[in-house]
Amino acid sequence: MEKMKGLVKVKPEPGAELLHDLPVPEVKGDEILVKVKCAAICGTDLHIYDWTPYAQQRVKPPMVFGHEFSGEVVEVGPEVKKFRVGDRVAGETHIACGMCFQCETGNAHICESMKIIGVHTEGCFADYIKIPAGCGWKLADSVSYEVGALLEPLGVAVHSVLADAVNGMSVVIYGCGPIGLMAVNVASACGATRVIAVEPVAEKLAIAKKMGATHTLQPGKDDVIAGILDLTGGRGADVIVELSGNVQAISECFRGLRKGGRVTLAGLPNGPVTLDLVDGVIYKEAKILGVTGRRMYDTWWQIEALLGAGKLNLEPVIGGIFPLERYQEAFAALHAGRPGKMLLTI
C-alpha cells in the first residue's frame, strides 16, 4: 500500500507529529483524491495544535488536521462527473448532508448535520486528501496554488462584507487578522467609499493600507469611535464588519454605526458580550447579521468573479511560506503574532 506523510494530532495534548507512514486515502463513489500543493494554517488549526477546550470538544485523535488547501486531482471515484484527473482545485471545508431543511432551502453552509474537513474528517496537512467532489472548486489557470489555499478563508471575508450592499458606503472592518485583511480588500474592490480598518497591531494596519484601507484606527492609541464619527460626518459608518472577536470591540462597535446601518458579526468572542440594545440597536434600527463560513456556492462564484476581474490582491496577506517539514516554525510564527497567513507547501 502506498504511503504518505502527514501532520497528525496523535494524542489529546498540545503539539502534533509529522508521520511518514500514513496510508494514502482510497476514493470511492463521489469522492476525489487531491495531491495537496499548498495549505494554510487557520485559527481552528491553532486550537487543535494547542489542544484548547474548543478542540477537545470536536477532534478525536489520531487524525490529520488542516482544512485550507489547494492541489491537483489525481484520482476520481466512479460516480464523479465534475472533475477529471489533472484539474487544479481548492477545497470547500463544509461537508453538508444535502437532505436537511437548511440544505434544501439554499443554506447548506449551515447544514443541521454539518461536518468540517480537518475537524470531523481527515484533513489537508498531508501529501493527499480525500474529499467529496462537492467540496472541490476548480481553480482558474491564473490562480496560483498559494492563492488557491487562501480561497476558503477569503470566502468568509467575501460572505461577511457582501452579506448586503457596500458600494458607495463607508465600511469599518474590526480586526486585521488574515480574514479581516481580506475583508478590507473585498470592501475596497466592491466600491466602498471609505474603508476604515480598526486593529491594535500597527504592523497589521500597515498591511491593511496595502489592501485598500483608506483610513486606519489603532485602539489604545486612537479614540476609535470618535475617529469613525469624524470620518463619517458625525453620522457613523454605514456598515461595520466585526472580525476581531474581541468582546469589548463587539460591544462598542454599535456606537460607531449610523442609524439604519448594518453590523455583520463573524468574529468569535471568547466570552459573553454585553450590548446597549436601546441606543445601539433598537433606537438606531440597526440591522445585525451573523455570518459563518461561505454560502455554498454563491460565495465561491463571487470569489471567482472578483479574482477573474483582477479586483483582489491577496499577496500582502501571506505572512510566510514553509515546507510541511518546518511546521513547528510556522506555528511558532503564529504564536508570536506574526501578521498574515502562514502557508505550508507539501
Active site residue 335: no
Q: Per the residue annotation, which of 44, 93, 216, 299 is the catalytic one? A: 44
3-state secondary structure the chain: CCEEEEEEECCCCCCCEEEEEEECCCCCCCEEEEEEEEEECCHHHHHHHHCCHHHHCCCCCCEECCCEEEEEEEEECCCCCCCCCCCEEEECCEECCCCCHHHHCCCHHHCCCCEEECCCECCCCECEEEEEHHHEEECCCCCCHHHHCCHHHHHHHHHHHCCCCCCCCEEEEECCCHHHHHHHHHHHHCCCCEEEEECCCHHHHHHHHHCCCCEEECECCECHHHHHHHHCCCCCEEEEEECCCCHHHHHHHHHHEEEEEEEEECCCCCCCCCCCHHHHHHCCCCEEEECCCCCCCHHHHHHHHHHHCCCCCCHHHEEEEEEHHHHHHHHHHHHCCCCCEEEEEC
Q: Per the residue annotation, which of 47, 67, 109, 159 is the catalytic one? A: 47
Active site residue 47: yes
Active site residues per annotation: 44, 47
